[in-house]
Amino acid sequence: MASKDIKLAINLLQTYGGRDKVMRVIGYGSLFLSGLVKSSAKSKKLLTISTELSACRTILRLFDDLPMLGYSLSYGLGTQEKSLWLRVLGLANNLMDQLFFPLEHIAWAADKKLINVSSSPWWVLCIAAWGLSLSFSILRSVTMIMGLRRTRKKLEQEIQMEDPTGTASRQESTQMEGQQITRLKQAERAHFLEILKHATDLCNAIHWMPPGFLWGGKLSNTTVGFMGTISSILYLRSVVQQTQATLAV
């Protein structure tokens, strides 16, 4: 068991996505703890860890434009989606994600005095793009849950209407429908976790908007760290599951 865990950790940290999610958990976790510790010296150290890891992730994202473009091109016009609404959400989500990176690059370059512009408006645009992307993702998950629930209820009604003393083939069909219902419930739970992940990030995104916009600038470091830690753990969970699936092949 220990060797499997070590192998999983190694494979996780060998990938950019894995390292990024680990840094995200540590960064937001440190920010959360910085507001809980009583010692100002320890709090400052934790804030330093959080700030430096955040800066590291920002620099690494300088190279994310092309991978994101590759994903957007592979998605295309979303013709594989089940409905026009999901297609619109997918395209809007990809557009916001694609815009996020150059906006962040300009804001970062302005902060570092590499270009002679104010960074503030670029950070606002960057965070707005992120917030819209998160909102579209939440709407997509809500739509998926509604569709899955309709399908599940339809199957449950069909099972209730069937004769339990029917033929063997009919009983086998009922069993398969029961398994399908279980898979649908699992898919619903997965989308609920997606909503939680994106909603906690959206709370932070709104906090980083200018004061006066909803709760912009009103959250404490502890709250921001707590929200970010929840979403980061869920992101890391997804990457761990993907890594486990790869190792199992």
Confidence of residue 246 (pLDDT cuts 50, 70, 90): confident
Residues 246, 249: Cα–Cα separation, whole Å: 5
CA-wise closest residue to 221 among 7, 37, 16, 15: 37
Confidence of residue 166 (pLDDT cuts 50, 70, 90): low
Q: Record the tokens describing residue 83, joined without a space.
A: 């409905």
The pLDDT tens digits of the residues spanning 169-228 come to 566 666 777 788 889 999 999 999 999 999 999 999 999 999 999 999 999 999 999 999
93: buried, middle or exposed (CB in 10 Å: 19+, 13-18, 0-12)?
buried
User: What does the domain layout of the chain look like in residue ranges?
Assistant: 1-63+220-249, 67-218
CA-wise closest residue to 101 among 73, 76, 130: 130
Confidence of residue 163 (pLDDT cuts 50, 70, 90): low
The pLDDT tens digits of the residues spanning 125-134 come to 999 999 999 9
The residue ranking higher by pLDDT, 150 or 157, is 150
